Structure 1
Amino acid sequence: MPSGASTALPARAVRVHRLGLVQYAPTWQLQEELMAATLAIKTQNRAAETTGAAPAVTPNHLLLCEHPHTYTLGKSGKPEHLLLNEEGLAAHGASFHRINRGGDITYHGPGQLVGYPILDLDNFRPDIHWYLRTLEEAVILTLAEYGLNAGRITGLTGVWLDWETNAPNPRKICALGVKCSRWVTLHGFALNVNPDLTYFGHIVPCGISDKAVTSLAQELEDPASVSVAGVQERLVSHLARLLGAQLV
């Protein structure tokens, strides 16, 4: 899988990697390798400034996948928000990983569209808040194509249904958690298309105990009409447009 820069590509080119159903640990390792390669190019470019050499173009990647049953805990999360011990994890066929993104605990599993953009925000806009809102907006626009009115809740990341002030039943449909180093991003978003939502019952999702979790399949009258592949292509199109990116 390509990990280096190509001077033949524009700075806003994004290589899309459709990985299918893949284990969490090697996918995390791939993210780290792609980020390290980009950071190495940025270091070389800084050194080249002293000689007047032209900088190399840094690459941008978007990994799209599903995972087997997996729980991940961000660096600011509380271990007690995982409600299963080792025996419970094994009984449910799930793995657990402490990782280096922000946020608390979340679940990944089949039927959930996971996206990991490894972007050099210097190629787009070096603003982490803009980046998070852009990911959320791509999801909101995608859900609108299925007739769902999704939005944001002040003070909380991710995308929600019944998000309006005083709405009776706010439900999270997409979680976000990212890391950024020298404007290169890691980790990303997890959109519930048609996963087994009972797995969220074994955690305090994102550390939030008073709000529900939902999925596209649960919200639609015809759950069979929605697929991860179909949602993926719609979301990628919206994200590319919002970023001003060229997909390769």
Structure 2
Amino acid sequence: MNTVLLKDLGTIEYGEAWTLQEQYMKEGLDIKSARFRQEAAAFAQTIPHYLFLCQHPHVYTLGKSGIEENLLINDQRMKDLDVRFYKTNRGGDITYHGPGQMVAYPVLDLEQFFTDLGRYMRTLEEAIILTLQEYGIVSGRLPGSTGVWLEADTSQARKICAMGVKSSRWITIHGLALNVNTDLQYFNYIVPCGITDKGVTSMERELGRKVDEEEVKRIFAQQFAKAFEAALVPASGSMVSAS
């Protein structure tokens, strides 16, 4: 069973969280490069796994394959809304991050789990689906799209969790954003994930009440551990396992 170090970063600026992920990815890549060069010391080093949980101040992020025209407002309007904009190196198109959202960034060496990015995405989705199930929210997948959806096979299809990742030599960064108590009006200023004919939603909207965000993080951590058959070691040192 792999061990994953769980860190709750609280509210953190998007660029700072991105830099942190890149740092941990580089450390893992450096070890892999040293092993390729047959440096004996590198074989004694382990490449650790991390799960970062956080939320961001208002920000739009555009994936490397995204279309900038899917950002529907200009710089001045973004300034008025106190929202920033980043072009990123993750997959996917444009999305929004902000208060009331649970963002999860797994930095995993998939060579220690499974070398299949499609399976990785489906496993992340499963952790969210099982988290929402704890609240009586039935969710699932939309064929041809990533993320987690409600009523995906109907005209009322709406996304509750967006996903976009990057992998280098099987080490992952970026991840997912679950709308918990998110102010959904910020999605009105973009074409979310480049999809024009479907909406977005939140746990708050679906349940008709505010949701305890700390509780959501705890449940998600448990479901993540089960889905990846891993043991999470939080900063406190206690263990959250897949059992």
TM range, smaller chain = over 0.9
CA contact (8 A) 2:31 2:42 kept: no
Q: Could you list the runs of 4 or more consecutive aligned residues of structure 1 that deviate by over 3 angstroms after TM superposition?
A: 51-55
* Alignment gaps of 5+ in structure 1: 1-9
| Cα RMSD, aligned residues only | 1.4
One-letter amino acid of the counterpart of residue 247, structure 1? L
**Equivalent in the alignment of 2:90:** 101
**Equivalent in the alignment of 1:158:** 147
1:169-184 paired onto structure 2 within 5 Å: 169-184=156-171
**Equivalent in the alignment of 1:211:** 198
- Provide the C-alpha distance between the structure 2 equivalents of 1:159 and 1:137, rounded to a whole number of angstroms: 9
Give the counterpart of 1:40 among 21, 30, 49. Answer: 30
**Equivalent in the alignment of 2:220:** 235
Give the counterpart of 1:78 among 64, 67, 83. Answer: 67
Secondary structure at 1:29 match in 2: helix
Q: Any idea what the Cα deviations from partners look like across 1:1-58, whole Å, max 9, x if unmatched? A: xxxxxxxxx7x11111101111111111001001000111111222337x69844221
Secondary structure at 2:104 match in 1: strand
**Equivalent in the alignment of 1:111:** 100
- Provide the C-alpha distance between the structure 2 equivalents of 1:181 and 1:55, rounded to a whole number of angstroms: 21
- When normalised by structure 2's length, the TM-score is 0.93
**Equivalent in the alignment of 1:142:** 131
Secondary structure at 2:37 match in 1: helix
* Alignment gaps of 5+ in structure 2: 234-243
* Aligned residues between the structures: 233
Farther-moved stretch of structure 1 (147-156 vs 54-63):
54-63
One-letter amino acid of the counterpart of residue 53, structure 2? L
Identity among equivalent positions (%) equals 51
CA contact (8 A) 1:74 1:101 kept: yes
One-letter amino acid of the counterpart of residue 56, structure 1? Q
- Provide the C-alpha distance between the structure 2 equivalents of 1:52 and 1:38, rounded to a whole number of angstroms: 14
- Provide the C-alpha distance between the structure 2 equivalents of 1:74 and 1:108, rounded to a whole number of angstroms: 13
